[in-house]
Amino acid sequence: MPIELKVPEVGESITEVMIGTWKKGEGAGVAIDDAIVEIESDKATVELPAPAAGTITKVLKASGEKAVVGEVIGYLEPAAAGTVPPTEAPSGAAGPVVDVRRTEGRTVIGSVQSAPLPQPQRVMPAAARVLAEAGLSSAGLAGSGPGGRVTKEDASRAAAAPPPARPAPAPAAMPAVAPAPVVPGSREERHVVISPIRRRIAERLVEAQQQAALLTTFNEVDMSAVMELRKKFKDVFQERYGVKLGFMSFFVRAAVEALRAVPQVNAEYRDPHIVFRDYYDIGIAVGGGKGLVVPVLRNAETMSFAQVEMAIGDFARRAGENKLKLEELQGGTFTISNGGVYGSMMSTPIINPPQSGILGLHSIQDRPMAVNGQVVIRPMMYLALTYDHRLVDGREAVTFLKRIKDTVEDPTRLMLEV
């Protein structure tokens, strides 16, 4: 008897998800716990594992379509005892991605990413309705759904493309108009459905701009002492802890000290109160497979340099694999974003609401500096603190950045907590 493949619960209060990439299409054999399909929410991406060994017999929801928690999105036929299901889907199970356009009254297909063997065209019922209402035929349409199915999105795209207006004939007395010059290069466009996590990122950024009084203050820090300390102890540190000594652990520890000195930056504006916290959950912005995510170091004030480096390395690895847990992305009292890894010289980061501050780090560049009356070359980094001016004044913001600067330029202060 076929097993129903249902959308799992992906987090508290999340009822709707988007179907991501089908890792196993119709006809593909799976082993128990094999990843079948990615389920995307506005918080994270999870994989639906195979509940048993068998063969995927039917896919009900194509990639990019929405579904609700508990909805059946496909069926799996369990393998008979003693048999081994095929491990690959039949040829052509995964359809190519196409760009369908209408040119001078006819439907054409743009660039195709892959060229599967010809197979009978399959049109989803919803797609057939859209094509019928638009007076279009499915002939020539290549679907982007599993098994090459023509999805509702494919049909809507074809129906929405207006035929080009035909130019009116020139008056007989007028000379013929020269044809418009042909523009070299491709003029095609690609329409990609916005992922839930990308949509949520956009919503939160707009929310931060609209609901908080954002202001950014800058400073700069001489990285000479930290770089010398790393150079001196990097080998023994990695040998003992199995992880490289990076810059982020210094800034996490420095941020904790600065937050202790200026508690408003670690607080939350919750009208009619300001909520002060005596713990420090530091969010670390990392680039993930689906976009920027901010996993949280819980109680960072209790973590050693090695624990911070190991946690951040683990976050970065699992973010690239879309394997961060939902609870690891929730909460946080303050955020650090390191744009320097991408070469950023200076930026104004946006806070992660309802937090009241975010520290932006940037690239390290050798610059001439005046030190003790002499011009010397030093490795310098710009720091940026964006904060909610409703509860953090300029004096507190400058004090916070100055504390970061003093601590990083003399990292022995971290050991003495002064």
Q: What are phi and psi of 238, to 5 degrees?
A: -65, -35
Which range among 159-163, 297-301, 407-411 shows the weakest confidence by mean pLDDT?
Answer: 159-163
Higher pLDDT, residue 258 or 20: 258
Q: Which residue has the higher pLDDT, 390 or 133?
A: 390
Active site residue 393: yes
Of 65-74, 99-108, 190-199, 369-378, the poorest mean pLDDT is in 99-108
Question: Which residue from 208, 112, 108 is spatially nearest to 164, judged by alpha carbons?
Answer: 108
Burial class (CB in 10 A: 0-12, 13-18, 19+), 114: exposed
- Out of 99, 235, 314, 393, the active site residue is 393
* pLDDT above 90 (res 72): yes
As annotated, the residues of the chain forming the CATH 2.40.50.100 domain(s) are 3-78
**What's the confidence (pLDDT) of residue 111?**
40
Q: How many CB atoms lie within 10 A of CB 33?
A: 12
95, 106, 136, 137, 183 from 133: Cα distances, Å: 25, 17, 8, 10, 34
Q: What is the pLDDT of residue 165?
A: 59
Give the pLDDT of residue 261: 96
- What would the two tokens of residue 81 be? 């005892």
pLDDT over threshold 60, residue 40: yes
The reported pLDDT for the residue numbered 262 is 97
Predicted confidence at residue 127, as pLDDT, reads: 72
Q: What pLDDT is attached to residue 90?
A: 46
pLDDT-derived band at 163 (thresholds 50, 70, 90) equals: low
The percent of residues in the chain predicted with pLDDT above 90, rounded, is 53
Angle in degrees, CA 121, 122, 125, rounded to 5:
145
* Adjacent-strand bridge partners of 335: 283, 358
Q: For residue 153, what are its two tokens?
A: 């999105």
**Assigned CATH for 3-78:** 2.40.50.100
Segment among 74-88, 178-192, 280-294, 347-361 with least mean pLDDT: 74-88
Question: For residues 347 and 122, which has the higher predicted lDDT (pLDDT)?
Answer: 347
**Interval 370-398: pLDDT, tens:** 999 999 999 999 999 999 999 999 999 99
Given a cut of 80, whether residue 170 has pLDDT beyond it is: no
Tell the CATH superfamily of the 196-416 domain: Chloramphenicol acetyltransferase-like domain (3.30.559.10)
pLDDT of 109 reads 40
Higher pLDDT pick, 337 / 193: 337
Instruction: Single out the catalytic residue among 34, 314, 389, 406.
Output: 389
DSSP codes, 214-283: EEEEEEEEE-HHHHHHHHHHHHHHHHHHSS---SHHHHHHHHHHHHHH-GGGG-EEETTEEE--SS--EE
Q: How confident is the model at residue 167 (pLDDT cuts 50, 70, 90)?
A: low
Better pLDDT: 103 or 400: 400
How far is Cα 280 from Cα 302, in angstroms, rounded to an integer?
9
pLDDT at 106: 42
Please check the confidence at residue 177 and state whether its pLDDT lies above 50. yes
Q: What is the pLDDT of residue 414?
A: 83
Mean of the per-residue pLDDT values for the chain? Answer: 84
pLDDT on residue 192? 85
DSSP structure class, residue 40? E
pLDDT digits (tens, 9 = 90+) for 241-271: 999 999 999 999 999 999 999 999 999 999 9
Q: What number is the average pLDDT over the span 143-166?
A: 71
pLDDT tens-place string over residues 117-131: 455 567 776 777 777
Does residue 104 register a pLDDT over 50?
Answer: no
Question: What is the pTM for the complete model shown?
Answer: 0.65
Residue 44, both tokens: 């994270």
**Is 389 among the catalytic positions?**
yes
**Cβ-based neighbours of 86, under 8 Å, separated by 6 or more:** 27, 28, 29, 55
Confidence at residue 162, expressed as pLDDT on a 0 to 100 scale: 65
Q: Can you tell me the mean pLDDT for 84-99?
A: 46
In this prediction, residue 103 carries a pLDDT of: 40
pLDDT of residue 174: 59
Type and span of the H or E element at 403: helix 394-409
Q: Locate CATH 3.30.559.10 in the chain.
A: 196-416
H helix or E strand, kind and range, residue 395:
helix 394-409
